[in-house]
Each structure stands twice: as structure tokens, then as C-alpha cells.
């Protein structure tokens, strides 16, 4: 069964190429000449949240970084390298941090069960819970508390993103760069814009106060 699935991937690729060439015979030739995406997407690694597909974007329109629970860590050289390339080379105009309701990483951070190596990553998410413990503990309904935790985690990642030297330097030289926080609904397919758009350093305190 697994071999059948694997073989289907190759066939699916051939069909995808055919469909693209039917619409535009020069599609791949044009795509191979370079990329200038207007957007960097920092999302969760969850297989149910494909960045391009849920926003109707084409190949070449979204630069993507994904990890468990869409975290922005100042010690994560992978994320920082992607961010640096997106901001300083590709000159993206927007960076979206997109979480999703039902996130397994966020759920794990709500409990104390050991999962394995991922415990070290989840520790950073637990820090978000600690920052908002009073608000979260006041929510009796566990599902609603979970949803709120997902939203708060995204918001915190947006503000951590704004504090990176990469984003700060871009703003200091007047680069057009906006940061946004979204949460995607697995059961609806709808994106929830959390209203944490930050376009320059002077907005940080105001936006933070409005959202927390």
C-alpha cells in the first residue's frame, strides 16, 4: 500500500506539470528565471495547512518557512536565515505568522506529558502560556482556552518577529515591510486575521497594548 502511494506521487507530478503547461506552455521556463515573492509565510509544519493552497497563491508568490507551532525563536538559525533572505534579498513586503486551531504543538504545551525530543521545542510555547497564565486559566472551557492559547501564541510570535535585528534594520532604512498574525481554521478553511499588523517600530507598543 505504501509503495502504491509513493508511485502515485510521481504520477501526480506528471499530471500537475501537464495541467500547468496546458494553461501556459512557458510556465516552468518563466518560473526558472527567478523569484520575487511579495510574501514570507511562517507557518506550522502541520500537513493540513498548505501555505500556497489556502490563500490561492501560485508557485513563486510565497516564500515559506514552517516549524512546529509556527515559532519565531531568536536562536533558530534556520528561521533567521529564511527571514534574512526573504527581507534582504527577496525584499518581501509582508510576513505572515500563521498558526492554526487544533495545533498539536500548542496542545502539548498545555499539558505535562513528555513526548520526546520535541519537549525542548514545546518549552518555548510553554513560555507563552506563562506570560498569559491568568487570562488563560480564567477560561473554564478547555476548547476555548486552547483556541485562545493558539491565538496568543501567534501574537507573541509576531512581536518576537518585530524585535529581530533583521526586521528592525529593515524598518530603520525605510523598507516597506508589514508583519501580520493569522490563525487558520482546520474545520472551516477560513483564516482569522488577529489584527496584529505591525508596519514600523513605532507601532509596536500601540499594537501590543491593543491586543493584550
Catalytic residue positions, numbered? 44, 46, 48, 100, 103
User: What sections of the chain are H helices per DSSP?
Assistant: 2-23, 27-31, 51-54, 77-84, 104-109, 119-131, 133-137, 142-162, 165-172, 204-211
Task: Quote the CA–CA distance of 107 and 199 in Å, as a whole number.
Answer: 30
Quick check: 138 and 81 in contact, CB under 8 A?
A: no
Q: Which helix (H) or strand (E) holds 184?
A: strand 178-184
35 φ/ψ angles, rounded to the nearest 5 degrees: -130, 145
Task: Quote the CA–CA distance of 52 and 61 in Å, as a whole number.
Answer: 8
The 3-state DSSP class for residue 202 equals helix
How is residue 110 written as a grid cell?
A: 498545555
What does R_g of the chain's alpha carbons equal in angstroms?
Answer: 19
Amino acid at each position: 500500500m505504501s509503495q502504491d502511494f509513493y508511485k502515485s506521487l510521481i504520477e501526480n507530478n506528471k499530471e500537475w506539470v501537464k495541467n500547468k503547461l496546458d494553461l501556459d506552455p512557458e510556465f516552468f521556463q518563466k518560473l526558472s528565471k527567478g523569484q520575487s515573492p511579495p510574501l514570507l509565510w511562517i507557518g506550522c509544519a502541520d500537513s493540513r495547512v498548505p501555505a500556497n493552497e489556502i490563500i490561492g497563491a501560485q508557485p513563486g508568490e510565497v516564500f515559506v518557512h514552517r516549524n512546529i507551532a509556527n515559532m519565531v525563536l531568536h536562536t533558530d538559525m534556520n528561521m533567521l536565515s529564511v527571514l534574512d533572505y526573504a527581507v534582504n534579498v527577496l525584499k518581501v513586503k509582508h510576513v505572515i505568522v500563521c498558526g492554526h486551531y487544533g495545533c498539536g504543538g500548542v496542545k502539548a504545551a498545555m499539558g505535562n506529558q513528555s513526548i520526546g525530543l520535541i519537549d525542548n521545542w514545546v518549552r518555548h510555547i510553554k513560555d507563552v502560556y506563562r506570560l498569559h497564565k491568568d487570562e488563560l486559566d480564567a477560561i473554564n472551557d478547555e476548547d476555548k482556552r486552547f483556541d485562545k492559547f493558539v491565538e496568543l501564541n501567534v501574537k507573541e510570535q509576531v512581536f518576537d518577529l518585530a524585535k529581530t535585528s533583521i526586521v528592525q534594520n529593515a524598518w530603520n532604512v525605510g523598507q516597506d515591510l508589514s508583519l501580520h498574525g493569522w490563525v487558520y481554521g482546520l474545520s472551516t478553511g477560513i483564516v482569522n486575521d488577529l489584527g496584529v499588523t505591525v508596519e514600523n517600530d513605532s507601532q509596536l507598543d500601540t499594537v501590543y497594548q491593543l491586543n493584550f
